[in-house]
Structure 1
Amino acid sequence: MKRSMITLFIGLCLLIPLSAQQEKKVKTTLQTSREWRPTIDVRSDAVMVYGVGGNPSDKSRRIPFEDRVQSWRDRGYITHFMTGIAWGEYQDYFTGKWDGKMHLDEGQVQQNGDTIWHGHLVPYIVPSENFLRYLKEMHVKRVIDAGIDVIFMEEPEFWARAGYSEAFKREWKKYYGFDWRPQHLSPENTYLSNKLKYHLYYNALDEVFSFAKEYGKSKGMDVKCYVPTHSLVNYAQWMIVSPEASLASLPSVDGYIAQVWTGTSREPNYFNGKMKERVFETAFLEYGSMESMTAPTGREMFFLTDPIEDWPRDWVDYKKNYEATFTAKLLYPHIDKYEVMPWPERIYEGLYRTSRDSDKKERIPRHYSTQMQVMVNTLNLMPRSENRVDGSHGIGVLMSNSLMFQRFPEHDGYEDPQLANFYGQTLPLLKRGVPVQTVHMENLAYPETLKDIKILIASYSGMKPMEWQSHRLLAEWVREGGVLLYCGRDDDPFQQVTEWWNSGGNNYATASAHLFEELGLPKPYAAGEYTVGSGKVHILRNDPKEFVLDENGDTLFVDLLKKAYSEVSGEPLLLKNYFSLKRGPYLMVSVLDESVGTLPFIAEGSFIDLFDPEIPVLKKKVVNPDQQALLYDIDAIDDKEQPRVLATAARVSDEKREDNSYSFIAKSPIHTTNVMRIFLPEEAATYKVMNSAGEPVDHEFSWDNESGTAFLKFENNPDGIAVQLEW
C-alpha cells in the first residue's frame, strides 16, 4: 500500500509540466534567437528562445524552433518563449502566404506615406483582428505545443509619428465611429490618434494572452504571460505609444521585463541649461517608473540591462555605461529577478570598435567579458532587501500613460524638448542625491501607491489625467495629510482637446481646474500655498521644463521642496552627491556629477571590487563623480567556518562541503576567463582544477591571508571545470 502511494505521488508529479515545477527557481534569464552554443552558455536559470521564425536580424530562422528549444533544454535550461507583438518574423502574413492576401497595408505609416520598418518585409504593425488571429494560430499554439508554458510578448509599440495607413484608418472608424482625422491638423486629432494606438496594443496583448491561457488550459498547462517593455519615461521621450501601466489591470498579464539599457538611458536630457547624456540618472528614473508601475499590483518584475547596445559603438563606451545602468537597477532592493542580457550572440561574437577613436574592431575583450560575467553571476545571488537607498524618502512625481500622447507633432508652437517637463520635476532632486520616486496615476486606486509618499509633485504640462476619479483619490490623500506641489501654466494646446474635463456635462477650462475644485481651492487657482484638511497644496505657475532648460532655473522649485519637506517630515531635506545601498553583503554606490559637491564617496573595510576583472580585495574604495562601484563586503560574512565562493565569472554548482574540503563545478562560455574569490576557513594545503575529462587545467592560485580568501583564475568551459580545495 505504501509503495503504491509513492508510485501514485511520483506519477502525479510527472503530470506537472517541468517548467511549472521549476518556475519559482527562475531568478535570472536571457533572451536569444539562437540554438545553444558553447560561446553563449551564460548559465542563467532560464532562456527565452526568441521567435518561432527566429529574429529578423540573424540566421536563427534556418534552425526549426523546436530544435532550438531542445538544444537549450539538453543543457539544463528552463525554456520560455519571446517574440514581438509589434514586429517580428511574420513575412508569411504580410506577403499572403498564410491566408492568400497581402497585408503590407497593415504596417505603421507616416504622414509622407512611408512605412516604418524594423527589417526586410518586417513593418511595425497595426495590430488588426486578422493579424492577432494569425499570431495565435501560427505562433502561440506552436509554442505551447512544444511544451512551453511561459510566454513573453515584447515591445507593444506604436510610433507617435505613424497613424496614416489604411489599416489604422479602419481601426479609427471602428473605435470612434467616425472617419479618420489626420493627427497633424490639430491637438485633438493627435490626442485621439494616440489614445487609439494605446488601445490597440492594450487589446492586442489581452487577446493573445487570453488565448494562450485558454489554449494552455486545454492541454493541462498553466501558461504565464509577460510583457517585456521599455519604460514609460523612454517611450515618452522616444515618441512611442504603448499601454504600459494599464496592462497591470489585465488578468492575462502576469508580469513584465523592464527593458532598460544604455540605448534607452543615454537619450540626452536637459539639466541646469545643458542638454547631454545622463545615463545613470535616466536609468534610475526608468527602473523606478517600472517598479512603481507594478509594485502596487503585485505583478512580477524582471530588470534588464545590456552589456552593449543596439547601436554600434566601442567597448570602452559599452563598459562605462553598463556599469551605470547595472548600478541603477541594483538600487531597487525589492526587485531581485533579472534578464541578465539580450542577444548573447552579439555580445560574445560581435565585432565592435576597440575605442572611440579607433576603426579597429574586435570581439569582446577578455577583461570586459570577465568583468561582465562577474556582474551577471552576482545577479544569481543578489538578495531582496528591506534596506533603502540612503537619502530623504517620500517625494514622488506623478506620471500617466498620457505622457506619451502629446509628444508628436508639436502644435501652436508649444515645445517640450527632450521630455523636459518630466525631467524638470525629477532631475533637480535626483541630481542632489534625493531618491525621488515616480507615481502612476493608473495605480492611485491601490492604497499602496501613495502609502509612503509625503510630497507629490504633479504637472499637466506634458500629460493629462485620463480619468476624473484620479482627482478624487488625490484630494482624499491631501486631506489626510499629503502635500501636493502642482507646477504648470496650463496653457499648452492639449488643455483644450475634447476630454472628460470639458465634455459630458463638465466645462472646465483646464484639466487642473477640476483637481483644484475637488480640493476646494478658491478661484482663480493662483500661485501660492493652500491648506486642505490635514494637508497642503502648493501651486507654482511655471511649467516644469523651465526648471531645467535654464541655468539655475530650479532654485525656486528646490527651495519650496526643502521648506515643504521639512514641514511635513520634521527633518531637513538631505542633499548630497551620491546614492548608496547595502543588499546583504553587496554595497552599491553611484556618485553624481553636476551635483552639490565634487567630493568622492569613500568606503573603508574589506571589500572585493566586482567591477575590476581581477576582483581584488581592497581596504578602501574611492568612487569619484560620474562613477559607480559594486563591492562585496567580506566583513559581512557571519559564518567564518563555512567555505563559499564570494565572487565568480562562472556559474557555480554541485557544491560539496566536508570537514576539511570544499569542491564545486564552474561553468561559463568558452573563450572567456574565469576569476574567483573563494572564502576558506584557512589556507588551502592542496587544490585541484580539472576539466570534465578529469585532466588538470592551467590556472593561477593565490592566498590573501588578511581576508581569508583564495584567488583562482582559469579558462572557462561550458562542460564545467571541477575545483577541489583541502586544508
Structure 2
Amino acid sequence: MTRDRREERTGFQESAPYRASYDLQTDFVMVYGIDDTMPERIRQWKERGYIVHLMTGVAWGEYQDYLNGLVDGRDHWDEAQTDRNGERIIHGDTPDVPYMVPTLAYTSFLAKQIRLAVEAGVEAIHLEEPEFWVDGGYSEAFKREWRLYYREPWSAPHSSPDAQFRASKLKAHLYARSLDRLCTEMKDYALTAYDRDLRFYVPTHSLINYTQWRIVSPESGLIDLPSIDGYIAQIWTGTSRTPNVYQGVRKERTFETAYLEYGMMQELVRGTDRRMWFLHDPIEDNPNHTWDDYKQNYKRTLTASLLHPDVSRYEVSPWPRRIFEGKYPSEDGSGKTTIPADYATLLLQVMHTLGNMGQMPDRAEQEESLIGVLIADSAMFQRMKMEEAIPANSGKYDGTDPEGFEKDGDTELLDFSPFYGLALPLLKHGIPVRPVQLDNVRRFARYLNGYRVLLLSYEFMKPEYPDLHFALAGWVRNGGTLVYVGNDADPYHGIRAWWNEDGLSYASPREHLFEQLDVKPEAGSGLYRSGKGVVAYLSAAPEDCAKSAEGAESLRAIVREAIEALGDPACRWLPKHDFALRRGPYIIAAVLDESASDAAVTIPGPVVDLLEPLLPVLKEVRIAPGEQAFLFDLERGRPNDGLVACIAASSRIELLEQSGAGFRFQPKGPEGVEAAARFYSPRKPLSATRLCGGDNEAIPFEWDAPSSTVLLRYEHKGDTDVLVNVGWES
C-alpha cells in the first residue's frame, strides 16, 4: 500500500487552507481558486508533503473586477452568457458570478490570473468545466463571435435547428480556442521564466452528462490540442442519479448511468498519452439527501468506475471539508448531523485502496467489450426546442434542484432517451456496452479495432465529416456489425451540412452512410450484408427503444440476430444480470435489477469486504439485484510465506517494517477519524500499541486464524506522528 507521491495516483481539491481534520493523505492536492490567500494555501499543503496543483473555474469564478472594468477599463458584462429572455445564466445563486462567453479579452484576463499560480510554484493547473449552456447564445459578445466565425449576421439559436446547431458548434469552438491559447501561453511562460514544465488538465463532465444536462463543451475536441495533458472525469452521484427511461419507467439508475459515463471518459483517452483521473464524491452538490443515500450512491459510482480498468488514477473527493466537517440530514429526520463514524472510516479505506488499482485485469476470466454505442460531440449541438418562448431557466438543470426542475423544466429533453434507448436495453442484460466516441474514428486509424458490434443513430447527433462514413464502411466490410436505428424524422437532418451542400442532396446523413455500405433498405428494417460484415437496420426512433418493454426487446432482438448472422464464434450474444471484474487481488461486482434474472449472485471467499468499515473476512459474499461489491481476494493477494502485508487501511501507510518480534507501521489520516487496517500476519499477534506524542497505549486488535490476518483499530491524530507496533507470540 506504500507508494511514491510523485505517481499522482490519488488527489483531491480544496479551496480552504490546510486543516488536519480533512487531510486525506492522497498523493496530490488541487488548491482551488486564485485570490490573495492562494500562495499561503499552496505553501501549507506543500509543507505537508503534497504535490500541489491548482484548480480554477474557466467558465465562471469570482471575476467581478474584470466584469466591472477594473482590469482594463472596459465593462465586460456583455460577455456573460445570456438566454433568449435576456437573463444572465448564473453559476449558483450569486448574481455577479455568471457563466462567461470565452472571448479573447476574457482569455487574456484568465492568463494573468493563472500567471500568479505559476509564480507560486504549482506543478499543474486544472481549468475546470469549460461550459456553455444550450440556452445561452444571446449576449452581445456571442453575437460578435458569430459574425467573426461564420461571416454572416447572428441568428437567434431558437429560430431554427440550423441556427441552434451552428450556435452550439461555435460555443464548443470558443472554449477550445480559449483553452488552447491559455495553456500554450502559460506553458511557454513557465518554461521561459522558471525552466519548469507546467502541465494542464481539464476537469470535465462526460459527453453523456453534458448532452443530458444541455451544456456544450469541447469534449473530444480537446484531444486535438497539444497543450492539454489530460482530464478529470467529473462523474459523481449528482450526474449519475439524473433519471432516465428504460422500458417506459423513468427513475434514477445511478450505477448504470455511472457505468456509461465512466466508460465514455475512459474511451476519450483510449489510444492517447493523455492522463485521466476518475472523480468520486462521497456526497454531492445537492445537500438535501441523507448520509445513507450518499453512501449507497457512492458505492454505485465507485464500483461502476472500477469496472473500467484502463484508468487507475482517481480524484478521491472534491471538497473534503464539506464531507468531514459538513452536516447533512439524519436518517430519522431530526435535523442535520456530521458524517457517521463508520462511513468516514469506509471512505478512507476505499480512498487509499484506490491508490493501488494499477493492477492488470484478469482478461482470461473476462469477456472483452465487443459492443459499443457511437456518440459524437454533435449530440450537444441539437438540444434546444424551437418554441418562441419558454419559462426563464426551465432548461438549466445542474442536479441541485431536481424537484424544482420536475415542476418547471423539460424532462423529456433531460431524459436523453435517444441515447439511453440504445444503451440501457443491452446494459441491463449484462452486455458490457461502451459508449464509443464517433469523432475519434477519423483521429485514430485503428480506433475501432476490438469492437465487433456498433450501434448508431443520427436521430440525436450528426457526423461532422463525410470521411467518418468511409472509415465505418471499411470497418463493416472487414467483418464488423453495424446496427443502425433511426427513422430519418429528426428536424436537424435539414441543417446546412456536407450531406446537402456542394452538389450533395442526401435527405439525411444515413443515406450517405448506407450508400458507402452498398445497402439499399427498400424493405425497411432487416439484415443486410456488406463485405464480410453485417448491417442491421431498425427503422424506428431510438427513443422508442426506451419507452416500453417491447421497444427494448426489439433492439435486443435485432442486435442478437445481427451477431448470429455474423457467425463469428469470438462474438456471441451472452446475456446475464451481473458484471464482475478482477484487477489483481481485487474483485469488483454488480448485480443488476430490471434484468434477465432476479437471483442473487454468490462470490466465494475467503475475501475481505472493502465496503465495510471493519474489513470483515467472509467465506462468501451474496450480492442481490441492485447491489454492488468491492472485495479483496485473500488467496490471490497473499504475500510470500513469512511476510507481513497490508490488505487495506483507512490510512496512508508511510512505513511498514517487519522484525522477528512483530511489525510496525506509520498511519496517517484526518484528525479524529476512526481508522481500521487489516494485515496479513504470519504469526498470531499478542499485543498492539500506538505510540503518539510520547504516549504508548494499547489499541484493539482481532486475529482471524483461518486467514492469518489481523484487524487493528485506532484513531487518527492528524499532524502528530503515530507509530503502531504489533507484537507476536514467541
Where in structure 2 are the equivalents of 1:311-330 lying within 5 Å?
A: 311-312=286-287, 313-330=289-306
Aligned twin of 2:399: none
Question: What SS does the corresponding residue of 1:696 show, helix, strand or coil?
Answer: strand
Are 2:422 and 1:425 aligned? yes
Equivalent in 144, 149, 159 of residue 133 of structure 2: 159
User: How far has the Cα of 1:415 moved from its partner?
Assistant: 6.5
**Quick check: 1:240 aligned with 2:241?**
no
Distance 1:319 1:395 in 2: 31
Give deviations 1:156-211, integer Å, cap 9, x for gaps: 10000111111111111111111111111111111111111111111111111111
Q: Deviations over 1:5-26 (max 9, x none)?
A: xxxxxxxxxxxxxxxxx88511
Name 1:675's counterpart in structure 2: 676
Q: How does 1:595-610 map to 2 (within 5 A)?
A: 595-610=595-610
The reply to whether residue 33 of structure 1 matches residue 15 of structure 2 is yes
1:393 to 363, 369, 372: 369
Does the Cα contact within 8 Å between 1:454 and 1:568 map onto a contact in 2?
A: no
1:289-328 correspondence to structure 2 within 5 Å: 289-312=264-287, 313-328=289-304
Identify the residue that residue 626 of structure 2 maps to in structure 1.
Answer: 626
* Counterpart Cα distance in 2 of 1:377 and 1:629: 17
Percentage of matched positions with identical amino acids: 41
Q: Which amino acid aligns with 1:548?
A: A
Output the CA distance in 1 between the equivalents of 2:5 and 2:353.
20
Could you say which residue in structure 2 is the equivalent of 1:45?
27
Tell me, yes or no, if the aligned pair for 1:307 and 1:341 is still in contact at 8 Å.
yes
**Superposed displacement of residue 554, structure 1:** 1.6
Q: Distance in 1 between matches of 2:651 and 2:375?
A: 40
1:3 maps to which residue?
A: none
2:711 and 2:550 map into 1 onto residues whose CA distance is 50
| Paired residues of 2:212 and 2:413 also in contact (CA < 8 A) | no
Three-state SS of the structure 1 residue aligned to 2:11 is strand
1:521 to 519, 522, 537: 519
Task: Please say if residues 588 and 631 of structure 1, whose CA atoms lie closer than 8 Å, have aligned partners that are also in contact.
Answer: yes
Change over 3 Å in CA distance of 1:695–1:569 after alignment to 2: farther
Q: Which residue of 2 aligns with 1:17?
A: none
Paired residues for 1:6-405 under 5 Å: 24-53=6-35, 64-119=37-92, 120=94, 121-137=96-112, 139-218=113-192, 219-312=194-287, 313-355=289-331, 358-388=333-363, 390-391=366-367, 393-405=369-381
Unaligned runs of 5+ in 1: 1-21, 54-62
Are the aligned partners of 2:687 and 2:698 in contact in 1 as well (CA < 8 Å)?
Answer: no
Conserved? CA contact 1:335–1:384, under 8 Å = no
C-alpha deviation, 1:392, in angstroms: 6.2
Deviations along 1:120-160, one digit per CA (max 9) or x if unpaired, are 311100011101001101x2211111112311111010000
Match of residue 687 from structure 1: 688
2:578 partner letter: Y
Give distance in 1, aligned partners of 2:710 and 2:361.
31
Deviation of 1:117 after TM superposition, in Å, equals 0.9
1:619-675 CA-partner distances (Å, limit 9, x unpaired): 111111111111111111142321012111111112222344321110110121001
**Alignment RMSD:** 1.8
Unaligned runs of 5+ in 2: 389-409
Letter of the 1:73 counterpart:
K
Distance 1:640 1:461 in 2: 60
Comparing 221-230 with 443-452, which one deviates more in the overlay?
443-452
Q: Give the CA deviation at 1:442.
A: 1.4
In the alignment, what sits opposite 2:391? none
1:59-109 residue CA offsets vs partner (Å, 9 max, x unmatched) = xxxx61000000000100000111111011212211222112221221111
Distance (Å, rounded) in 1 between the aligned partners of 2:49 and 2:55: 19
Size of the alignment, in residue pairs? 694
Cα separation, 1, equivalents of 2:502 and 2:128: 37
Aligned residues of 1:439 and 1:449 also touching (Cα < 8 A): no
SS at match of 1:612: coil
Change (3 A) 1:525 1:419: farther
Q: Which structure ranks higher in relative contact order (CA pairs < 8 Å, sequence separation ≥ 6)?
A: 2
Distance 1:23 1:449, change over 3 A: farther
Tell me the alpha carbon deviations over residues 557-601 of structure 1, each in whole angstroms, 9 at most, x when there is no partner: 111212222334326411111111111111111111100111111
Give the distance between the partners of 1:525 and 1:128, measured in 2 at CA.
51
TM (norm. structure 2) is 0.92
Secondary structure, in 3 states, of the residue corresponding to 1:122?
coil
- Evaluate the alpha carbon distance shift between residue 448 and residue 328 of structure 1 in structure 2; reply closer, same or farther with a 3 A threshold: farther
Q: Which moved more, 1:236-245 or 1:115-124?
A: 115-124
How far does residue 721 in structure 1 lie from its aligned partner after superposition? 2.2
Structure 1 pair 173–333 and aligned structure 2 pair: CA distance change class (3 A): same
Give a deviation string over 1:518-546, Cα, whole Å, max 9, x none.
Answer: 11223658322221111111111011111
The one-letter code sitting in structure 1 at the alignment partner of 2:124 is: V
